[in-house]
Amino acid sequence: MILEKLGYYWLAFFGIILIRYFLVAGGVYGFFYSDLGKPYIIKNLRSLPPKWKSMRQDAELAILSAVFFSLCAALILSGYDSGLTRLYATFEQYGLWYIGFSFVVVLILQDGYFYLIHRTFHHPLLFKWLHHGHHRSLEPTPWTSFAFDLPEAIFQGLFFIGIVFLIPLHFITLIALLMTMTIWAVVTHLGIDPFPRSLMRDWLGKWFIGPTHHSIHHRKYRVHYGLYFTFWDKLLGTHDPSYEQEFLD
């Protein structure tokens, strides 16, 4: 019975994750890489047009990653059904303030976790086995956003499996975190930058990772390992000074 329910959850989440990927990544790509999006492009970060082969490879990896991500989602929901997780569904249990507070806390924790594993994956002895697939596209597109080698997908998914057993989270908070991760991944892999330069100079580009910041990582590999914030890169010496000098002037 338990395995049957787990299989049902896995199949349902696999479909949801795939639909999410193709709708969000495909929709954003279709907009910005067509005439519709041209007026909104402030800076083209690509030196060459995107190649169909690279985008197909990215989509194949994303589908493979979805196999494991859907298993993670199935395990989390099965754990909730069994009363094993710290997920909850009533606002009164911790109050409305805690929903926003826990969202920010987990976002910061995820950013630190991602920086650690991402920088580790770039070690010469590990890169080929753990992270090479994501970098086959030297210049990313929205399709690259969830193109992970299976070992990397496992490490990514384990964060959320672990966090629901450690920190009380409302279902709304968990969904908001997953939506934020999805949108942020697509935005940072746009291959173009739609944000005004003044906004980037003032605060957004200094503290938050955007398309320009992450495009440098895909070109240079040894800088810019963060997910949401530039904090860890600046603190641990992996922030590229050319970001301010060349891209924000």
DSSP string, 137-148: SSS--GGGGG--
pLDDT reported for residue 241: 87
Tens-digit pLDDT profile for residues 78-112: 999 999 999 999 999 999 999 999 999 999 999 99
pLDDT in tens, 149-179: 999 999 999 999 999 999 999 999 999 999 9
* pLDDT tens figures, 39-60: 999 889 998 899 999 999 999 9
Fill in the amino acid letter for 226: G
Handedness of CA 156, 147, 231, 107 (dihedral sign): negative
Angstrom distance (rounded) from CA 157 to CA 104: 19
The pLDDT value given to residue 199: 67
Instruction: Measure CA of the first residue to CA of the last residue in the chain; give whole Å.
Output: 60
**Residues 138, 216, 108, 181: what is their CA dihedral angle, to the nearest 10 degrees?**
-40
Report the percent of the chain where pLDDT is more than 70: 95
Residue 10 pLDDT exceeds 90: yes
Encode burial over 50-60: b for 16+ CB neighbours within 10 A, e otherwise.
beeebbebbbe
